[in-house]
Amino acid sequence: MPLVRQLWLAIALITATTFAGSFLVSIHSASSYLEQQLQRKNMDNANSLALSMSQQAKDAVTLELQLAALFDSGHYQSITLMDPHGAIIVERIQDRSDTTVPEWFVRIFPIKSLPGRAQISDGWKQFGTVTVVSHNRFAYQSLWKQSLEMITWFVGIALLIGLAGILALRGIKHRLDAVVEQARAITERRFITIDEPRTPELKSVVRAMNDMVGRVRDMFADEAHRLEDLQQKLNFDAVTGLANRDYFMGRIRETLASEKAASAGVLLLLRLHDLAEINNRIGHAETDTLLRNIGSILEHVAAEMPDRLAARLKGSDFALIAPNADDTDALARQLAEAMSQLIHTGVPEIMDVFHIGAIPYNRGDHPGELLSAADQALAIAESSGANAWHAEAGKLSSIAAGNDEWRELLTDALADARLKLALYAVNDSSNRELHQEGMARLQVKPDGKWLSAGDFMPMAVRLNLAGQIDLGVVRLALDLLQNHPGELAINLASETIADWSFHNKLIELLRQRSVLCHRLWLEVPEYGVFREYEAFQDLCRTLKLLGCKVGIEHFGNHLNEARKLSELGLDYLKVDASLVHDIAQNPGNQKLLKGLCRMAHGIGVRVIAIGVQDQVEQAALIELGIDGLTGPFIAKAS
């Protein structure tokens, strides 16, 4: 039985018991008092009548008239005049009882009317005895009225007590609900603190739970900070803060291989002309400042669009990969202008500082060949003169000419249900299926080829159609779960997280088929999670209540935000493939992934590696503590 119901029963029982006790005691006291009053009245009236009769003539008619006059007042049950030998001279009896008092009340609370007796004298002789018995119906009427008044007062007081109880219990329940919510959040791997209530018993419990949550948060934050420092040392350049060559190569391999990545983009190389000469002329400190400023420029350009990454490949070489960049000339010119402004204000005495080469790429290109082509473009720029840039001609290949045509194609495809899921296995460390991952495919043109998400989602996001596509993907996933066993994971676009219209439609759709939710895994890319953190946190809480599993995809590029994971209640993390490639030959990333697994396992979160290429990578990842794996090798093995 719920605690609130128990408290209500306790209050009701105590109140009812108190009233019943008070009622019985009051009624008993009142009935005893009324009996005493009746007896005294009988005695007084008997004495008064006897005195009056003693002073009158003793003929039968006179005596009967006196007795009848008193009896006819209606207050008496009987008046009897007897001679000294007990013979009745005159007697009046009233049998009927005109009263509204219920019979059951009379039976439960009897009131006895004890007779009053007095002697009648005739001179010095005893003439007889008069006995007076007052009617008790008036006593019952008074007692019944008093009972009704007490019940009325009780009902009124009970209502006031009930109102006060509602307010008190509401306050207690609110505090209990907060404690329960905190406990539930801990079971869901969301470590939150709440205000301490004033109730001493609850206060001690909440304080203990808050202390535990604080320790978990501190532990998690320390581990996240340690991993962030490790990642900075392993994967980022100490001077500029940009990604280093190893990290960049892992990312470019993933960008060229993953169907979730954009289908095309731009690769740009920037090289400083004779860094040693620059160092000799302006000094080591100024050179480091120049490198940091170049890093800031590249970071600024990279931050304009998701999934862009800037890196320092070696001392004088920098790179930028820009998925979905739609013009190599425009990107190269933008960077060249920013660099020209930098050297004009920073190192005006040096005429020849940089060269830039930019080329377009398409998914499936070989990383080595792509870098060679970019290096050739850079060589052309170097041969063109000081601070020159060269961009290979070409734009992103596009199915549609412009936004209007894209909108029409995407809208028609959704209306005709030309959307499907391609399934890929995700296995646990024992090579058993953990779940399947559903990749969206869209047939933009009837009888055309099925495009992967990287081909159409960028335009869908630009045209504000990503929410409709995600809802279509969720419907397909629920249909698959309805007709097939197992569990299924699907990806939600980062741009839909903060779309409350999408949020509400998604929750309504899931509630309609809530029986399937415990088999549905929903994941969001890392950059979108931390960009729209509060919206994602709210979405997590709602999805968890429905029974869905929630995770973050492509995790590992923003470890500086990892401390926030303790508040989300996640079920799993999918580690970015750039940290997985060649893991067996990368001790630094091994240390990073091992620490990440230890941190995630500390709050009950699974870690899944994506992009596994071969058995060597699989074995190394399992050794590090990875819980699940997916990628080309897993797909072949399945």
Mean pLDDT of 291-306: 90
Tell me the pLDDT tens digit for each residue of 255-289: 888 877 888 899 999 999 888 888 888 888 888 89
Is 441 in the same domain as 583?
yes
Report yes or no: 577 and 255 within 8 Å, Cβ to Cβ.
Answer: no
Residue 25 included in any domain: yes
Is 362 in the same domain as 468?
no
Is residue 573 within a helix (H) or strand (E), and if so which, with residue range?
Answer: strand 572-575
Domain boundary among 114, 130, 159: 159
Residue 214 included in any domain: no
- Structure token pair of residue 391: 């961009």
Output the pLDDT for position 133: 86
User: What's the number of domains the chain is made of?
Assistant: 3
Report yes or no: 497 and 539 within 8 Å, Cβ to Cβ.
Answer: yes
Q: How many CA within 13 A on the CB side of residue 327? A: 6
Residue 235 included in any domain: no
How many CB atoms neighbour CB 628 within 10 A?
Answer: 25
Greatest alpha-carbon span in the chain: 161
- Structure token pair of residue 329: 């000339």
Is 502 in the same domain as 583?
yes
Q: Of all residues in the chain, what percent carry a pLDDT higher than 90?
A: 32
Can you spell out the DSSP letters for 45-101?
Answer: HHHHHHHHHHTS---HHHHHHHHHHHHTTS-EEEEEEE-TTS-EEEEEE-------S
Burial grade of 15 (CB within 10 A; 0-12, 13-18, 19 or more): middle
- 211 or 360, which is more confident? 360
Is 85 in the same domain as 119?
yes
Is 69 in the same domain as 122?
yes
Output the pLDDT for position 556: 86
Mean pLDDT of 408-426: 92
Pairing of strands 488-491, 433-443: parallel
Q: How sure is the predictor about 400, in pLDDT bands with cuts at 50, 70 and 90?
A: low
- Structure token pair of residue 170: 């509401």
pLDDT(56) > 90? no
Domain boundary among 361, 391, 421: 391
What 3-state class would DSSP assign to 379?
helix
Q: How sure is the predictor about 74, in pLDDT bands with cuts at 50, 70 and 90?
A: low
Q: Model pTM?
A: 0.70
Domain boundary among 391, 414, 445: 391
Q: How sure is the predictor about 591, in pLDDT bands with cuts at 50, 70 and 90?
A: very high
Taking all residues of the chain, what is their mean pLDDT, rounded to a whole number? 85
- Structure token pair of residue 207: 């304080």
- Domain containing residue 411: 403-637
Ranked by mean pLDDT, the top range of 76-80, 112-116, 190-194, 386-390 is 386-390
- 307 or 622, which is more confident? 622
Residue 189 included in any domain: no
Output the pLDDT for position 3: 59
Output the pLDDT for position 475: 96
Q: Residue 88 belongs to a domain with what CATH number?
A: 3.30.110.200
Is 310 in the same domain as 414?
no
Round to whole Å and give the CA distance between 54 and 472. Answer: 112
Mean pLDDT of 108-131: 84
How many CB atoms neighbour CB 245 within 10 A?
Answer: 15
Is 38 in the same domain as 70?
yes
Nearest 10 degrees: CA dihedral of 323, 325, 330, 336?
Answer: -20
Q: How sure is the predictor about 296, in pLDDT bands with cuts at 50, 70 and 90?
A: very high
Instruction: Give which of 150, 108, 165 is closest to 19, Cα–Cα.
Output: 150
Is 337 in the same domain as 416?
no
Residue 215 included in any domain: no
How many CB atoms neighbour CB 445 within 10 A?
Answer: 13
Mean pLDDT of 228-254: 88
Is 499 in the same domain as 621?
yes
Residue 231 included in any domain: no
Tell me the pLDDT tens digit for each residue of 134-180: 877 777 788 888 888 888 888 888 788 778 877 776 777 777 777 77
Residue 453 included in any domain: yes
Query: Looking at the DSSP assignment, which residues form a beta bridge with residue 531?
Result: none
What 3-state class would DSSP assign to 513?
coil
Is residue 128 within a helix (H) or strand (E), and if so which, with residue range?
Answer: strand 125-134
Round to whole Å and give the CA distance between 617 and 297. Answer: 36
Is 386 in the same domain as 422?
no
Residue 430 included in any domain: yes
Is 580 in the same domain as 489?
yes
Is 375 in the same domain as 491?
no
- Structure token pair of residue 72: 């006819």
